[in-house]
Structure 1
Amino acid sequence: MAAVVWTDTLQFLILVGGAIWIALSLVHQIDGGAITILSHAASTGRLDILDWPPSLFSLSLPIVAISFFFQLMQEYGTDQITVQRMMATGSQRKTFKAILFNAGTDLVVISTLLFIGLGLLSFYQLNPLPADIAPDSLMPYYIIHQLPNGVNGLLITAIFAAAMSSMDSGINAVATVLLNDYKKPKNKIVTKARGITILLGILATGIAFYVSSIGGLIKAFYSFMGLFSAPILALFLLGVINRRMAFHHWLIGLAVSLPFTLWLQHGLGAHWVW
């Protein structure tokens, strides 16, 4: 586990350093720098985030705050990967420090990424862009064509490495749960774990093809996670708050929540953050 933590730490440093480099590069390449970027964002309505009352069909800061709160509750309370990493800290005090550090880092990283998005908007308003470039491809396109050789290769490699690291961590966590929490085999544990890992990898690949048809990485992520994050968090909270609830009660809630979420996404056309 220590090797995984240190590998993720190195990837984190490369990715954050790259994000800061991109932000500074955008400020340097756009006349007027950050002031121009923010002015352009304001003139196009990108900074109108305090819309009230909340709407099912638009994005606003209150909605993002509520969504992010429950997302983090699910991640820190039920996500097997996160729990494994918190347990690797060695003590409850160190875990608490790690959570606080992560919260502060999230604020900086998310703010930097939002600024990069606004910077890319301004930059490509002034510079030609191929017509077939998808919005999700803007940052890789900028990295490849605007950053120095070597830096762009390192960043693209780190992005792929982080993606593979996240996937293999998730597959390993699910395989561990299936082996130990349901029916722990008495023999050939490694062989069975490898078989489960292969099946989970195939399943993850199939899901990737599905979410790619939703449109947009962020929309795909929240649309897919919305189907399962809330039921998993509900199961966790049921176990903490009310010990009289049984598993079949959760199954009833799951049977109601999944169709309702799908109706919100595809029937009503609610914003993907819901």
Structure 2
Amino acid sequence: MQNLPILDLTIVGIYLLAMILVGIWFSKKNKNAEQFTKASGGIPGWAIGLSIYATFLSSNTFLGVPGKAFGSNWNSFVFSISMPFAAWIAVKYFVPFYRSTGEVSAYTHLENRFGPWARTYAVLCFLLTQLARMGSIFFGIALSLQALTGYSMEMIMIVTGICIIIYTVLGGIEAVIWTEVVQGVIKTLGALLIIFLVVSNMPGGVSKIIEIGKAHHKFSLGSVTPDFTTATFWVVLLYGFFINLNNFGMDQNYVQRYHTASSAKEAGKSVWLCVWIYLPASMLFFIIGSCLYAFYQENPSLIEPVKIQVAAERLGKLASTQEISSLAATLQPVDYGDKVMPYFMVTKMPTGLIGLIVSAILSAAMSTISSGMNASATVFSVDIYQRYIKQGQDDKQMLKLLHVATIVFGLLGMVTGVMMIGVKSILDIWWQLSGIFAGGMLGLFLLGMLSKKAGNTAAMAATIVGIFVILWMSLSYLIPPSYGYLKSSLHANMIIVVGTLTIYLVGVFTASICGRGKSLNS
């Protein structure tokens, strides 16, 4: 257990206070629902691009990516490589479409295309995805700060959650975007600082890190064999393409930002700006993981406390010292990768710098959580409350509803984070959950945009089949060994790929039998 020095606590406190003050400042402008959700379309494209970048660069990246690189290799970097392909499609087709509709919700057009059920179904999938995202980020920030401060993970989630809720509720989407611009810069500088500190503490410097990395295959992007049962290059590339297409093409977090731009052209530029910044920035976190691996390979005794901690957590309070030591000796880097960077910060960073890095980690968490809260509140208010509960609200009533919904989703995100305490890998759990929920709606979106023949019947049949396929792949591990032939042999990251293609292809096939449906723009 550690306690941050007063200087570091002061730096963190100033950062949190600054975020709240930003919310208070922008609260003066939030007099109606349009300002809260769209910022009246007055945000420059470069700011939106940095905001989207900051949302991508969450604490899952800040903590989970170095943990993955430490425990295995650079296989997960293939996710970043897939981004330009998804961005091209989104900028060419999705951005102009959303701008032309003028609808703040990404899911309103699904009702026009397939009926109310399609809109509600996509909204539920989105909200579940957001809870998974916010929960994993709350968990990641608590995991890191617990090692640095000694406070319980639950307490850390409550304090950071309250601060995020305050500035998001007060400031709306404009506060979210401009704070994310600052946060994107802070966490990028934080990553560079960590690399500098690791390299400066490493005997032999960069050349030794590269030597150890090559010897242990730490820079590998994964096998290029056509195998979809393990996390090969192709599995991660396909997963990355589909999940990024989901992000850029239909995730309310990003679609809502397109409406804050002054034009479709500016919105498209923001997507490309995000991509070209995120690619090299995400590599920094893989470099951190490889640097830490090399450092502790050269200093194996320094990592023993982390292994002891993980072993003690797995065995529980009743385990003896001998049992803990025996288990610790068998642990592999993949078993404690997420804990290595916080541990390095505790033991190797000087006073003052820890506060800056903690602020960077906080910014990584706060940017994604705040945008998730705002987007979730917007979708709930527009697609559920106004659609099914009460229509015809004035601006004052709508703004109050958005405020309440933002608070509720922030609290639900905290609860989800508490439920994730104890998971092995932040990045793995987030990738798996996002693949499950996103796979259920991306196929429906593509069916609506690419197939003019598909109508309500075809879409509903395809969605039902797709849900069963996704459930089968997700729950295959529960099938008893005696019925092993019924299990899915594909890697978990293939869920979004198979689920999306199933819904789209079944929809196209059913439409060819049932006849022509109405087009997307009808």
TM-score with structure 2 setting the length: 0.48
CA–CA separation in structure 2 for the residues paired with 1:169 and 1:265: 34
Instruction: Assess, with a 3 A threshold, how the Cα gap between structure 1 residues 111 and 162 changes in structure 2: closer, same or farther.
Output: closer
Q: Which residue does the alignment assign to 1:92? A: 264
1:198-257 superposed Cα distances (whole Å, 9 cap, x missing partner): 443343234324444442101111111111111121121122112423252353144223
CA–CA separation in structure 1 for the residues paired with 2:399 and 2:174: 21
Letter in 2 for 1:74: N
Letter in 2 for 1:215: K
The 3-state SS of whatever aligns with 1:273 is helix
CA–CA separation in structure 1 for the residues paired with 2:477 and 2:207: 37
* Counterpart selection for 1:77 from 242, 249, 257: 249
Instruction: Assess, with a 3 A threshold, how the Cα gap between structure 1 residues 30 and 235 changes in structure 2: closer, same or farther.
Output: same
Q: CA RMSD in A?
A: 2.5
Q: Which residue does the alignment assign to 2:439? A: 230
The structural deviation recorded for 1:32 is: 2.6
Q: How do residues 135-146 of structure 1 correspond to structure 2 at under 5 angstroms? A: 135-146=337-348
Q: Which residue does the alignment assign to 1:180? A: 382
CA–CA separation in structure 1 for the residues paired with 2:259 and 2:371: 15
Tell which structure's C-alpha radius of gyration is larger.
Answer: 2
**Quick one: higher RCO (CA 8 Å, sep 6+), 1 or 2?**
2
The structural deviation recorded for 1:266 is: 6.2
* Counterpart selection for 2:464 from 221, 232, 252: 252
The structural deviation recorded for 1:10 is: 0.7
CA contact under 8 A between 2:223 and 2:232: conserved in structure 1? yes
The 3-state SS of whatever aligns with 1:208 is helix
| 1:170 equivalent in alignment to 2:399 | no
Letter in 1 for 2:437: F
* Counterpart selection for 2:216 from 37, 44, 49: 44
Q: Which residue does the alignment assign to 2:234? A: 62
The structural deviation recorded for 1:78 is: 0.9
1:123-177 superposed Cα distances (whole Å, 9 cap, x missing partner): 1222312122532121122223323322221221232243133223212212211
Contiguous gaps of at least 5 residues in structure 1: none
CA–CA separation in structure 2 for the residues paired with 1:63 and 1:242: 26
Contiguous gaps of at least 5 residues in structure 2: 1-172, 311-335, 480-487, 495-522
* Counterpart selection for 1:8 from 173, 180, 194: 180
The structural deviation recorded for 1:261 is: 3.1
* Count of aligned pairs between the two proteins: 274
CA–CA separation in structure 1 for the residues paired with 2:411 and 2:477: 26
Identity of aligned residues (%): 26
Give the ranges of 4+ consecutive aligned residues of structure 1 lying more than 6 Å apart after TM superposition: none
CA–CA separation in structure 2 for the residues paired with 1:137 and 1:50: 23
The structural deviation recorded for 1:263 is: 3.2
TM-score with structure 1 setting the length: 0.88
CA–CA separation in structure 1 for the residues paired with 2:186 and 2:254: 20
Instruction: Assess, with a 3 A threshold, how the Cα gap between structure 1 residues 216 and 170 changes in structure 2: closer, same or farther.
Output: same
Instruction: Assess, with a 3 A threshold, how the Cα gap between structure 1 residues 266 and 32 changes in structure 2: closer, same or farther.
Output: farther
CA–CA separation in structure 1 for the residues paired with 2:341 and 2:241: 27
Q: Which residue does the alignment assign to 1:147? A: 349
